[in-house]
Chains A and B, each alone.
Chain A
């Protein structure tokens, strides 16, 4: 008799999906996909690239689930794959663009959907992060949320570790100051 798989914990779903249970995989996609996307948006700075990245990750993950050592950790495994793919995109972007001012603040115009989202969000942190210069925001998200190390970020982006540290120091200063966390 079939029953709803939606109540099952990640570990069991990941095991079943690793064996080819597409329905279990579907539940995992619906359970974690939105968070993966929200994270990717903040790392990459736009929605369409974020969705591309997350789709690629999930399609790839389906084939690689049987290589996951700890099925219970499938969520962080998926998030890590998002970090890795997002970083690849960022590096390729940088390789193709002209010299940019890494310290330039984010453009003052935002896409309509971004503005709506921020309004709906009504979060001070959201707007602070949005206004960070791109590289500071990327490093912040990858380190603080993605849990990547300075070295990992630096190597993947092809920049010195000291650069990553510098970007993160600046991001922290800004966020701490603007969030008025002392209050």
Chain B
């Protein structure tokens, strides 16, 4: 493309070489994923160039931000630490889970959040497993109420998912028996092999 063409291309931003379309319109067209397809725009070389340019600008802006982020990441640590010092453990405390005590005035409780952490730790301890979400279903605030533990986890290798599920289940049951008085009637484990995406669903425990 020679300089004259280049100049007229730039002027074309105002309308002429965009075959009657505007940059504004083309940007909206891009946003809509070029759907429905506009044959007029698609057939216009000026429009195609403009669309490419707009797309490239978007990509470049992201690249710019990422590079600025990388440059600044060391300095960012200090304010990040400030954030981490200020998040509240209470935010995910959840419900209070009671334990028995002979004296009626004495109330002993563990938070649901701390039990979830316990379960997560136990699940993580099974080789090749990383725990995702942990749920305690049932009324944990009432002594002896039947509780189901629901866990999702990922397994890194082509492991026997059923065997891993059972291992997780057994360890979770044992851990909860040691540290709580929850009446756990079931531990449902949904485990996904992240390589093959094969999923093993909960069975009755």
Encoded as 1 (CB less than 8 Å from any B CB) or 0, chain A from 161 to 183 comes to 00001001100110111010111
Encoded as 1 (CB less than 8 Å from any B CB) or 0, chain A from 2 to 46 comes to 110000100110011011111001100110011101110110000
Asked whether B86 lies within 8 Å of A12 as measured between CB atoms, the reply is no
Give the bracket for the number of chain B residues in contact with chain A: 35 or more
Tell me, yes or no, whether B87 is within 8 Å of chain A by CB. Answer: yes
Q: Which residues of A contact B95 (CB under 8 A)?
A: none
Asked whether A30 lies within 8 Å of B117 as measured between CB atoms, the reply is no
Tell me, yes or no, whether A49 is within 8 Å of chain B by CB. Answer: no
Asked whether B65 lies within 8 Å of A33 as measured between CB atoms, the reply is no
Tell me, yes or no, whether B159 is within 8 Å of chain A by CB. Answer: no
Q: Total contacts A to B, CB within 8 angstroms?
A: 147
Asked whether B72 lies within 8 Å of A34 as measured between CB atoms, the reply is yes
Task: Indicate whether A19 sits within 8 Å of B1 (C-beta atoms), given known contacts A38-B72, A63-B88, A181-B57.
Answer: no
In the bound assembly, the distance between CA atoms of A34 and B68 in angstroms comes to: 8
Asked whether B6 lies within 8 Å of A26 as measured between CB atoms, the reply is no
Tell me, yes or no, whether A125 is within 8 Å of chain B by CB. Answer: yes
In the bound assembly, the distance between CA atoms of A141 and B61 in angstroms comes to: 9
Tell me, yes or no, whether A117 is within 8 Å of chain B by CB. Answer: yes
Tell me, yes or no, whether B108 is within 8 Å of chain A by CB. Answer: no
Asked whether B57 lies within 8 Å of A179 as measured between CB atoms, the reply is yes
Tell me, yes or no, whether A121 is within 8 Å of chain B by CB. Answer: yes
Q: How far is the CB of B115 from chain A (nearest CB, A)?
A: 10
Asked whether A35 lies within 8 Å of B133 as measured between CB atoms, the reply is no
Tell me, yes or no, whether B152 is within 8 Å of chain A by CB. Answer: yes
Q: How far is the CB of A178 from chain B (nearest CB, A)?
A: 10
Asked whether A125 lies within 8 Å of B64 as measured between CB atoms, the reply is yes
In the bound assembly, the distance between CA atoms of A55 and B86 in angstroms comes to: 10
Q: Which residues of A contact B23 (CB under 8 A)?
A: 169, 172-173, 176
Tell me, yes or no, whether B49 is within 8 Å of chain A by CB. Answer: yes
Task: Select one of A19, A33, A145 contacting B61, CB under 8 A.
Answer: A145
Task: Select one of B68, B89, B94 contacting A22, CB under 8 A.
Answer: B89
In the bound assembly, the distance between CA atoms of A176 and B120 in angstroms comes to: 51
Q: B77-85, B137-145, B181-189, B196-204: which lies at the A interface?
A: B77-85
Asked whether A3 lies within 8 Å of B124 as measured between CB atoms, the reply is yes
Asked whether B53 lies within 8 Å of A12 as measured between CB atoms, the reply is no
Q: How far is the CB of A78 from chain B (nearest CB, A)?
A: 12
Q: How far is the CB of A145 from chain B (nearest CB, A)?
A: 5
Asked whether B13 lies within 8 Å of A176 as measured between CB atoms, the reply is yes
Task: Indicate whether A145 sits within 8 Å of B65 (C-beta atoms), given known contacts A1-B125, A173-B13.
Answer: yes
In the bound assembly, the distance between CA atoms of A37 and B6 in angstroms comes to: 37
**A134-148 at interface with B (beta carbon < 8 Å):** 141, 144-145
Task: Select one of B6, B58, B132 contacting A12, CB under 8 A.
Answer: B132
Q: Which residues of B contact A99 (CB under 8 A)?
A: none
Encoded as 1 (CB less than 8 Å from any B CB) or 0, chain A from 112 to 155 comes to 00000100110101100100000000000100110000000000
Q: Which residues of B contact A (CB under 8 A)?
A: 1, 6, 9-10, 13, 22-24, 27, 49-50, 53-54, 56-58, 60-62, 64-73, 76-77, 79-80, 82-84, 86-89, 91-94, 113, 116-117, 120, 124-125, 130-134, 152, 154
Can you list 12 residue pairs at the A/B interface with Cβ under 8 Å?
A: A1-B124, A19-B92, A29-B84, A34-B76, A38-B69, A41-B68, A125-B57, A145-B61, A165-B24, A169-B23, A182-B49, A182-B53
